[in-house]
Amino acid sequence: QVQLVESGGGLVQPGGSLRLSCATSAVSAFTFSRYTMSWYRQAPGKEREFVAAITSAVDSTNYADSMRGRFTISRDNAKKTIYLQMNSLKPEDTAVYYCKAAWTVPGRVYDVWGQGTQVTVSS
C-alpha cells in the first residue's frame, strides 16, 4: 500500500518561505515516476483546494492561479519525493497542506493522500 508522508510545515512570518516535502514509501522509484503528484490545502472552515500538480510525463506542472509565481512544485523520482517551495507567504496561505499521488490503470483512477502538514503564516 502506497503511503505518503508530508513534512516541512511550521510557523513563518508573512513574506517568508517554506519548503514542504512529501515522501512516498512502499513503491519503487520507477512506479513513483509514473504517478501524477499534487499538493492541496485546506484552511479552517474551508474546503480543500488544489495548489499544484506535477505529472509523470515530462514533469509538466500546473498551479492554482493564486499560487502561480510564488509556489514551485518539483519532484525527485530517485528519492520518491515531491517538494513545494513556497515563497512570499501570506496569512491566507495558512492551511494544512496535503500531497496526493494519482495513477491510472485501464478503466480506473486511483489516488492516495498523505496525512497533511500544518503551515501557519503569522507575525
8 Å CB contact between 12 and 123:
no
What's the mean per-residue pLDDT of the chain? Answer: 94
Instruction: Report helix, strand or coil for 29.
Output: helix
Q: 45 Cβ partners below 8 Å, 6+ apart?
A: none
pLDDT band at 32 (very low <50, low <70, confident <90, very high): very high
**Alpha carbon distance 39, 74 (integer Å):** 11
Q: What's the pLDDT score for residue 105?
A: 87
Residues β-bridged to residue 42:
96
CB-based contacts of 37, cutoff 8 Å, min separation 6:
22, 53, 54, 73, 75, 82, 99, 100, 101, 102
The mean pLDDT value for 23-29 works out to 92
Cell 495548489 -> residue: 51
* pLDDT > 70? residue 10: yes
pLDDT at 23: 97
pLDDT for residue 56: 80
What is the pLDDT, as a whole number, of residue 111?
A: 94
pLDDT, tens only, 34-77: 999 999 999 999 999 999 999 986 779 999 999 999 999 999 99
**According to the model, what pLDDT value does residue 57 have?**
67
